[in-house]
Chain A
Amino acid sequence: MDAITAEGLVKTYKSKSGVVRALDGLDLTVAEGTVLGLLGPNGAGKTTTVRILATLLRPDAGRATVVGCDVVRDAQHLRSMIGLSGQYAAVDENLTGRENLVMFGRLYQLSTSEARRRADELLEQFSLADAANRVVKTYSGGMRRRLDLGSALTGRPKVLFLDEPTTGLDPRSRLALWDVIREREREGTTILLTTQYLEEADELAHAIAVVDAGKIIARGTADELKSQIGGERIEVVVHARTDLARAAEIVGRDCEGDCTVNEHTRRLTAPARNGAQSIVQVVRDLDEAAIAIDDIALRRPTLDDVFLTLTGHAAELAPSDDDGPAPATQPAQDRRSA
Chain B
Amino acid sequence: MTSRDVPVSGVAPTGGLRREITDGLIVAGRNLKRVPRIPELAVFAIIQSIVFVVLFAFVFGGAIPLEGGGSYREFLLPGIFAQTVAFASITTAIGMTDDVNKGIIDRFRSLPMARSAVLTGRTVFDLVYQTGILAVLMVAGLAVGWRVRGSVPEFFAGVALLLTFVFAMSWVGVLIGLTVRTVESANQLGFTVLFPLTFVSNVFVPTESLPGWLRPIAEWNPVSTLTAATRDLWGNPNPYAAEGFPAEHPVWLTLGWVVLIVAVFAPLGVRRYRSMSR
Interface residues of A (CB under 8 A from B): 1, 54-58, 67-69, 73-77, 79-84, 86, 88-95, 99, 103-104, 106-109, 135, 151, 155, 327-328, 330-332, 334-335, 337-338
Measured in the bound complex, the distance between the Cα atoms of B276 and A1 in whole Å is 32
Provide a sorted-by-A list of 15 A–B residue pairs whose CB atoms are within 8 angstroms: A76-B13, A79-B113, A80-B112, A90-B102, A95-B37, A99-B30, A104-B107, A107-B26, A109-B19, A109-B112, A109-B113, A328-B103, A330-B106, A331-B103, A338-B275
Residues facing A in B166-183 (CB within 8 A) are: 178-179, 181
Contact across chains for B109 and A55 when beta carbons are under 8 A apart = yes
A109: chain B residues at CB < 8 Å are 15, 19, 112-113
CB distance from A2 to the nearest CB of B (A): 10
Measured in the bound complex, the distance between the Cα atoms of B178 and A334 in whole Å is 11
Other-chain residue from A76, A91, A135, A155 in contact with B37 (beta carbon distance below 8 A): A135
Contact across chains for A81 and B3 when beta carbons are under 8 A apart = yes
Contact across chains for B278 and A95 when beta carbons are under 8 A apart = no
Name the prevailing secondary structure of the B interface residues: helix
B181: chain A residues at CB < 8 Å are 332, 335
Contact across chains for A56 and B277 when beta carbons are under 8 A apart = yes
Q: How many residues of B contact A (CB 8 A)?
A: 45
Name the prevailing secondary structure of the A interface residues: loop
A151: chain B residues at CB < 8 Å are 107
Other-chain residue from A56, A155, A327, A332 in contact with B112 (beta carbon distance below 8 A): A155
Interface stretch among B4-12, B142-150, B259-267?
B4-12
A84: chain B residues at CB < 8 Å are 106-107, 110
CB distance from B184 to the nearest CB of A (A): 13
* Sample of 18 more A-B contacts, CB < 8 Å, known A67-B1, A90-B104: A68-B1, A74-B6, A76-B112, A84-B107, A90-B103, A94-B38, A103-B26, A108-B111, A109-B113, A331-B103, A331-B105, A331-B106, A332-B181, A334-B276, A334-B277, A335-B179, A335-B181, A338-B278
Contact across chains for B30 and A337 when beta carbons are under 8 A apart = no
Other-chain residue from A80, A88, A95, A330 in contact with B33 (beta carbon distance below 8 A): A95
A88-B103 in contact given A79-B111, A109-B19 (Cβ < 8 Å)? yes
CB distance from B133 to the nearest CB of A (A): 18
Contact across chains for A107 and B108 when beta carbons are under 8 A apart = yes
CB distance from B101 to the nearest CB of A (A): 7
Contact across chains for B9 and A73 when beta carbons are under 8 A apart = yes
